[in-house]
Chain A
Amino acid sequence: KNEVEQSPQNLTAQEGEFITINCSYSVGISALHWLQQHPGGGIVSLFMLSSGKKKHGRLIATINIQEKHSSLHITASHPRDSAVYICAVRKGAQKLVFGQGTRLTINP
């Protein structure tokens, strides 16, 4: 069993819908990252969080340390949000474990 599991693996929605991507992990962590990978392959960091909730524009990330679970929400989704979203957890100072990613497609 992977230490980091994301769901769903694939998600297709219509423009304007509220999107939720989930990440569950089974190990102790010092931080959790949400990353976005566009079709060209480059990856951008969206959030790093160790507790509570963070918001940036239409993106919201939450984490529940006790339940070992994090969610990434996108409000008023847009076709340009189409990408692969990756959850990664930090174990110790340098070790990162990555989820398999969630492929999101937003149709106009």
Chain B
Amino acid sequence: DGGITQSPKYLFRKEGQNVTLSCEQNLNHDAMYWYRQDPGQGLRLIYYSQIVNDFQKGDIAEGYSVSREKKESFPLTVTSAQKNPTAFYLCASTQLGRILFFGSGTQLSVL
């Protein structure tokens, strides 16, 4: 079955550490997105990519980095510059502005 796989489900970050969240899709979608969800708030866009080797900053890109070396993969790195990284992170993909498919999310916490 086609879908989006996010891993890990839970992740803990130590002070000063970079961590990477994985997002893989087998839907052959061109566009992929990373969102951050905080309690009581709507999803906020971190980065998005419309095509391989190209990506754009979203509304809250500071302290995050991404890469899109393969169509299927869009990993997100939470760097030590992100001072408040505790949140639920969701990866999504779509094709030509059609319906969105979401991964099951990664809960990132700070030790």
Contact = CB atoms under 8 A, between A and B. Distances in A.
Contacts, number: 57
Contacts of B100: 33, 35, 43, 45, 48, 88, 96
Interface string A84-108: 0010101001111111110000000
A94 B48 contact: yes
Contacts of A44: 102
A98 B42 contact: yes
What is the interface of chain A mostly: helix, strand, loop, or mixed? strand
Contacts of B16: none
A42 B105 contact: yes
A41 B42 contact: no
Interface of A: 2, 4, 30-31, 33, 35, 40-45, 48, 86, 88, 90, 93-101
A39 to B, nearest CB: 11
17 contacts: A4-B42, A30-B97, A31-B97, A33-B100, A35-B102, A40-B104, A42-B102, A42-B103, A43-B90, A43-B92, A48-B99, A48-B100, A86-B42, A90-B97, A93-B97, A94-B56, A95-B45
What is the interface of chain B mostly: helix, strand, loop, or mixed? strand
B41 interface: yes
Nearest to A95: B45
B48 A100 contact: no
Given A48-B98, A96-B100, A100-B40, 14 more contacts: A2-B42, A33-B100, A42-B105, A45-B99, A45-B100, A86-B43, A88-B100, A93-B97, A96-B43, A96-B45, A98-B43, A98-B44, A100-B41, A100-B42
